[in-house]
Structure 1
């Protein structure tokens, strides 16, 4: 335990990483602690405080899942029901999967659906309906129910279920079922709501270290269920406290039955060699850190990165929001680790990789890809290197600017014969993944951040 305060640590660390602005919040012993530094934008700088809005990216999924669980608690949706009960018109490339995929498969990323649909379906009230129509083009990258594979498309499909069941737009349903009863007065989807308040913009760092505004500010409305909320550190602490509680809002309104709230943090599927966690509940990633169970979710928008972690048995929550890539990810990780160690005495350490093994390296060197990205592994001297790039044709077809690619990463294999690895430098330092072998024993795929890349021959 150090004698440095949260404000000291955050101020020093944000300067070390040279990020324009950060907002950190901790819930401890019934008290809120905030540390906010820097500015919303290098072009139009305004000071950041606990009410400044940041684009949350995938932390939005926890709001989508909670909204859906309200409908489950009211008997309007069943977790094990086929999605087609609510969206009869659903078409997927695999017609059998379209018949059988369940609501639970979407919630815990076991649908086998690829990461996302690369389409802008506009800003109208029909954006999700049009997005779901495009899902007939999405590949299944694994058999239904066979494994966890992180899918933005799956969560956007959940958003459409919410629309069909409530008769409201997704954004309105989340506001009425979650934002309003919980008093989340600084959480919004619509750009018109966001732009009239103080909000952070994302930044990218070029090779020479210069920061520039990341555009577009965020993706289109069809992506809202998977990543469309802008919110503040103060609202996210209130959100964390709700998920640490018994299902009541601070006002006394019951938002979820206690058992349903707790059910969201029960394991539904195991994760292998994943930085996301050891298992997944109903959206929440579950991880044992130093023998203590945590639940959390991260998020990345264009040049903005977010992290939310709760520790139920200690009634503790930590939030970290940043507005620059690629350094926002390691900044958030350092803040969360510091908070766990200094407030709870919980140490979170990365496992050590083994020394370079030329024979094992030869088995994995090569090219891999998914719908959006390529993943290349080669050796540099007595070391392994990986590079993940957005495909040129995806960039060319995009009707908006996509985030910059990361520089290549050094990585190492982990001890044992499980084909697991860890990234050892750069923005994704500490990220873990694993290789998949086919029936003949040859490596056929690699996982990173819950996403599968298949080997290209």
Structure 2
């Protein structure tokens, strides 16, 4: 892509964003593309419908789980400095780390925390604490509230808990609170000059808020909760910044760890290690995992990606090393992820010429559904699976441990604690697609909508994987 081609991309994205937002009730959207020395940023709509503030090119937003790649970068910095070792048990550095299953935490290595292979069952564990002891309180709470889904290194399950433990680990070995470490060791050398680590900092500049559709009027309403608690900082609860800042961070990983302003943030070897496969579930809905990055195969091209949900918003960061490209975007309502996926695929297919084969070509109505029927659980989440009209039907319910957990989760989810029943059609044994979707819908980032079942023994699957997250048969 030369400069003229990137200008054409800018015009196309602007038209695509405008059309999608108007027809799908997305209040505001901002996106950026870097390619081969040039970059563009496109902004559209409203950052906050309550105030009417416009979404600008430099409007800040919650990074959400894109932060996990930053936390991983910080961990590998400490590995390079000889402070941490990836193959050492976490408890050597963090003796207070424990789970409800005796001895389970002792098996978790540092590398398991940042490769989503730790098995910590804490995906919806929301201790409500603020300030410099927040991560300490989170880790203390694991010992009495959270168990283990599987043996470390045995499987992959997207892990908020692992990243938060990694954040606390960083605090203990450096003696610096995680927000300060993020700012000093990452924001400054990368050149993320408009990034912050709290709502108190973000309010001093233009910042978007998330929205939810009112169930009665379907009008977009601002979220009642701007950020998750401080306890979720390293997993993506509190860091905030701009498209330009995320492009700079993505470019740092494109350039072998050297930031656009010339600072060495990470070694070439560590940057490459993050991009190598740590674990592969060999299932279309669960892309191979690196360290921090999820490694999405688009044909023969690998896209390093991470998306980030925040209360009423969603961000995405994609790095394509083979084509020297970074794409990042934020929309201030959850449905914006569909637009992000469409822009990503258009960039790959039309502008980079990447040939993307169809991931799912046909379904198989003859698959035996009985091994998958049952109840699956993880931290405060229950999924009931039954057979209805020759399809699997899943009913997902959040079961809060206490009132504080209920309040935080329902505000994060826009006021609901359960999802409508969802039907699934069999693609092959162990793999299912949500009914009513065309097969091509799963070619891109939204392959995460597929559901897989694993470890069938004695006629029953032991695990269900939806959205990269495992639940275990009750």
Tell me whether the two structures share a fold, i.e. TM-score over 0.5. Answer: yes
Judged with a 3 Å threshold, the aligned counterparts in structure 2 of structure 1 residues 107 and 363 are, in CA distance, closer, same or farther, namely same
**Partners of 1:433 and 1:356 in 2: how far apart?**
16
Aligned to 1:106: 113
1:294 aligns with 2:303: yes
Residue deviations 1:292-325, cap 9 Å, x none?
A: 1221111111111111111101101111211113
Judged with a 3 Å threshold, the aligned counterparts in structure 2 of structure 1 residues 361 and 32 are, in CA distance, closer, same or farther, namely same
More displaced 10-residue stretch of structure 1: 423-432 or 337-346: 423-432
**Partners of 2:52 and 2:285 in 1: how far apart?**
34
Aligned to 2:235: 226
**Partners of 1:313 and 1:154 in 2: how far apart?**
29
Residue deviations 1:347-385, cap 9 Å, x none?
A: 54441441433x623443343222222223344545443
Gaps of 5+ in 2: none
Aligned to 1:235: 245
2:259 to 249, 272, 275: 249
**Partners of 1:273 and 1:114 in 2: how far apart?**
21
Judged with a 3 Å threshold, the aligned counterparts in structure 2 of structure 1 residues 10 and 399 are, in CA distance, closer, same or farther, namely closer
More displaced 10-residue stretch of structure 1: 96-105 or 312-321: 96-105
1:48 aligns with 2:55: yes
Aligned to 1:194: 202
More displaced 10-residue stretch of structure 1: 187-196 or 439-448: 439-448
2:212 to 188, 204, 211: 204
1:81 aligns with 2:83: no
Aligned to 1:436: 454
**Partners of 1:121 and 1:454 in 2: how far apart?**
26
1:154 aligns with 2:155: no
1:408 aligns with 2:416: no
**Partners of 2:210 and 2:436 in 1: how far apart?**
23
**Partners of 2:286 and 2:39 in 1: how far apart?**
26
1:446 aligns with 2:464: yes
More displaced 10-residue stretch of structure 1: 100-109 or 406-415: 406-415
Give, in angstroms, the shift of residue 395 of structure 1.
6.6
Give, in angstroms, the shift of residue 242 of structure 1.
0.7
**Partners of 2:88 and 2:230 in 1: how far apart?**
26
Give, in angstroms, the shift of residue 174 of structure 1.
0.9
Give, in angstroms, the shift of residue 261 of structure 1.
1.2
1:215 aligns with 2:224: yes
TM-score by length of 1: 0.92
Judged with a 3 Å threshold, the aligned counterparts in structure 2 of structure 1 residues 355 and 267 are, in CA distance, closer, same or farther, namely closer
1:9 aligns with 2:22: no
> What does 1:335-350 correspond to in 2, within 5 Å?
335-348=343-356, 349-350=358-359
Secondary structure in structure 2 of the residue aligned to 1:360: coil
Gaps of 5+ in 1: none
Judged with a 3 Å threshold, the aligned counterparts in structure 2 of structure 1 residues 121 and 274 are, in CA distance, closer, same or farther, namely farther
Contact 1:94 1:140 in 2 (8 A): yes
Contact 2:122 2:147 in 1 (8 A): no
> What does 1:54-133 correspond to in 2, within 5 Å?
54-116=61-123, 118-133=125-140
Judged with a 3 Å threshold, the aligned counterparts in structure 2 of structure 1 residues 115 and 341 are, in CA distance, closer, same or farther, namely farther
Secondary structure in structure 1 of the residue aligned to 2:271: helix
> What does 1:139-150 correspond to in 2, within 5 Å?
139-150=147-158
CA RMSD in angstroms comes to 2.4
**Partners of 2:91 and 2:371 in 1: how far apart?**
42
**Partners of 1:274 and 1:199 in 2: how far apart?**
36
Contact 2:376 2:463 in 1 (8 A): yes
Residue deviations 1:81-138, cap 9 Å, x none?
A: 1111211222222332222211001111111111436233411211111111011121
Give, in angstroms, the shift of residue 393 of structure 1.
5.7
Aligned to 1:33: 40
More displaced 10-residue stretch of structure 1: 125-134 or 386-395: 386-395
Give, in angstroms, the shift of residue 222 of structure 1.
0.9
Give, in angstroms, the shift of residue 396 of structure 1.
7.3
> What does 1:156-171 correspond to in 2, within 5 Å?
156-171=164-179
Secondary structure in structure 1 of the residue aligned to 2:457: coil
Give, in angstroms, the shift of residue 411 of structure 1.
2.5
Contact 2:433 2:450 in 1 (8 A): yes
Aligned to 2:190: 182
**Partners of 2:82 and 2:404 in 1: how far apart?**
45
Aligned length: 451
Aligned to 1:134: 141
Give, in angstroms, the shift of residue 178 of structure 1.
0.4
More displaced 10-residue stretch of structure 1: 26-35 or 115-124: 115-124
Aligned to 2:399: 391
Judged with a 3 Å threshold, the aligned counterparts in structure 2 of structure 1 residues 58 and 336 are, in CA distance, closer, same or farther, namely same
Aligned to 1:365: 373
